[in-house]
Each structure stands twice: as structure tokens, then as C-alpha cells.
């Protein structure tokens, strides 16, 4: 596969970098990790390490690549002490939460990251696209070349499993 031209890569980078970075940050909770993920996604693109026929919709390809790379990073980190709590802070909001609420938010995000890392990659990808990236079931089905029914059933089962895993994490079981 021929590598994309430098000018084409620059245009793609400018158009999509912020969203790729945001998708990776939502999963990793770390700006540094999100930047590493974004860099790897665009390096793969620069090397031509993707199938243009399967990536007919470049934007979808980039989101999926960012999500999968971020999930891979989380799976590779079996020692969760490697992710400092200050890196897992929630995205800034208009009002500052109480210290207790902020602490609980960080714990919940850590538990969710752990639970996501245990899911099958395609299942985790569907969950992230739906609940972190706000795509609807029809868009997810199109992106993943499946039916809306499969997406809906998978998301229903995934929510139930994540709810169970998150409860166990909050009790100290994961």
C-alpha cells in the first residue's frame, strides 16, 4: 500500500487530531496516554498500515483506531498503580465538585477502565462508541458493519456486565 502524501496527511491530522485525542482521553483518563495513542494512530496512517477499502470512511477509521489503541493500552496495564490518580481526573466542568464527589468520580472511572479492559475488543468498542463518543446504534452498526439489533443486544448485555463489575470494584473485589 502506498503511503499518503505529506500534504494529505497534514490535512487529515489537522481535521481529526482533536477528536482522536479526545476519544483516547475519555478511555485512558490521561493526557499523556491519549497523546501517545493519537501519535500511534497517525503514524499507522502515515505508514499506510490500514486498508483503504475497509477504511472508506476515514473519520470512522480514525475513531475506531483511537478507541482500540486506547483499550489496548489499558489492557496492557495490568498494574493499575501505573496510572496516577491526578492523570485520571474528570474533564473540566463548569462547577467544581466536592472533594468526596471528585474522589468517587476518579474511583468510578478507574473501575470502568478496568471493566472495559476485560471485555472482548469489539464489545468494548461498541460501548465506547455509544456511551463515550455519543454515536447512536445505527451509526455504530454502520461503522462496525453489523446490524442495529446486534449493537442493541450487545450494549444491553455489556451494561449489565459493567454494572456488576463496577459494583464489585467499588466493594474492592476487582
Burial bucket for residue 10 (CB in 10 Å: 0-12, 13-18, 19+): exposed
Q: What is the mean pLDDT of residues 93-115?
A: 62
Where in the chain is CATH 1.10.10.10?
Answer: 98-174
Going by pLDDT thresholds of 50, 70 and 90, the confidence category of residue 152 is very high
pLDDT score for 52: 57
Q: What CATH class has 1-86?
A: mainly alpha
Banded model confidence at residue 37, pLDDT cuts 50, 70, 90: very high
Task: Give the pLDDT score at 141.
Answer: 92
Under the banding of pLDDT at 50, 70 and 90, the label for residue 4 is low
The whole-angstrom separation of Cα 72 and Cα 58 is 21
Query: How confident is residue 104, by pLDDT bands cut at 50, 70 and 90?
Result: low
pLDDT band at 101 (very low <50, low <70, confident <90, very high): very low
Rg (CA), the chain: 17
* pLDDT recorded at residue 115: 85
Task: For 113-145, write each residue's pLDDT tens digit.
Answer: 888 888 898 999 999 899 888 899 999 999 889
With a cut of 50, say whether residue 171 has pLDDT above it: yes
Average pLDDT taken over every residue of the chain: 78
CATH 1.10.1740.10 maps onto the chain at: 1-86
What is the pLDDT averaged over residues 141-170?
89
Q: Which of 34-38, 55-59, 61-65, 163-167 has the lowest mean pLDDT?
A: 55-59
State the CATH architecture for 98-174.
Orthogonal Bundle (1.10)
Amino acid at each position: 500500500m502506498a503511503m499518503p502524501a505529506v500534504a494529505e496527511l497534514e490535512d487529515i491530522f489537522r481535521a481529526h487530531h482533536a477528536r482522536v485525542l479526545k476519544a483516547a482521553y475519555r478511555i485512558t483518563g490521561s493526557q499523556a496516554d491519549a497523546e501517545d495513542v493519537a501519535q500511534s494512530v497517525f503514524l499507522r496512517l502515515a505508514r499506510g498500515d490500514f486498508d483503504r477499502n475497509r477504511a472508506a470512511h476515514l473519520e470512522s477509521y480514525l475513531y475506531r483506531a483511537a478507541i482500540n489503541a486506547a483499550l489496548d493500552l489499558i489492557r496492557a496495564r495490568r498494574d493499575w498503580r501505573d496510572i496516577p490518580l491526578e492523570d485520571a481526573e474528570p474533564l473540566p466542568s463548569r462547577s467544581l465538585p466536592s472533594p468526596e464527589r471528585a474522589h468517587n468520580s476518579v474511583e468510578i472511572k478507574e473501575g470502568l477502565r478496568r471493566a472495559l479492559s476485560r471485555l472482548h475488543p469489539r464489545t468494548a468498542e461498541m460501548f465506547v462508541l455509544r456511551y463515550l463518543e455519543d454515536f447512536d446504534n445505527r451509526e455504530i452498526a454502520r461503522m462496525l458493519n453489523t446490524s442495529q439489533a446486534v449493537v442493541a443486544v450487545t450494549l444491553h448485555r455489556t451494561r449489565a456486565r459493567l454494572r456488576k463489575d463496577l459494583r464489585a470494584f467499588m466493594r474492592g473485589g476487582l
